[in-house]
């Protein structure tokens, strides 16, 4: 299955609509493309205890992993912001866990986007290779 950046971002936009963000009002959606062609989407889920909040990127990846996917090609992130929405540091670490070369599409509310690899966003990531 071939999918382009814009289509993956559209999945993230749809996921954003499901966000639970009653405190920050900052809705975020993410969509991750697995090597088999399946797309897993996720949204941010806030909690009154902010430490219990889960970002959209981790929601999408954890959903994929819980369904058996562990090899990913790309992830797209979208919010209502005029600015490009980047994965936070924890999400970057989770993305790096699964694919050092994964493409990361960051976008804004207009659907404009930029493309990076996770290595560009998190150089020198701590990975399983560091534990050998």
Q: Which residues contact 33 (CB under 8 A, 6 or more apart)?
A: 3, 8, 39, 72, 73, 74, 75
What is the CA angle 103-108-114, rounded to 5? 35
Catalytic residues: 57
- The annotation status of 43 as a binding-site residue, yes or no, is no
Instruction: Name 8's Cβ contacts closer than 8 Å, sequence gap at least 6.
Output: 31, 33, 39, 74, 75, 76, 105
Contacts of 10 (CB under 8 A, 6+ apart): none
CA-to-CA distance for 96 and 128, rounded, in angstroms?
A: 10
User: Residues forming the annotated binding site?
Assistant: 55, 88, 91
User: Which segments are annotated as binding site for Zn(2+)?
Assistant: 55, 88, 91
């Amino acid at each position: 299955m071939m999918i382009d950046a814009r289509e993956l971002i559209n999945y993230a936009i749809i996921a954003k609509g499901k966000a639970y963000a009653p405190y920050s009002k900052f809705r975020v959606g993410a969509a991750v493309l697995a090597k088999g062609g399946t797309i897993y989407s996720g949204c941010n889920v806030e909690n009154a205890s902010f430490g219990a909040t889960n970002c959209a990127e981790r929601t999408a990846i954890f959903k994929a992993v819980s369904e058996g996917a562990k090899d990913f090609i790309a992830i797209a992130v979208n919010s209502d912001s005029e600015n490009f929405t980047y994965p936070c540091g924890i999400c970057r670490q989770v993305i790096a866990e699964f694919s050092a070369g994964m493409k990361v599409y960051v976008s804004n509310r207009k659907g404009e986007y930029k493309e990076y690899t996770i290595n560009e966003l998190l150089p020198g990531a701590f990975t399983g290779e560091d534990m050998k």
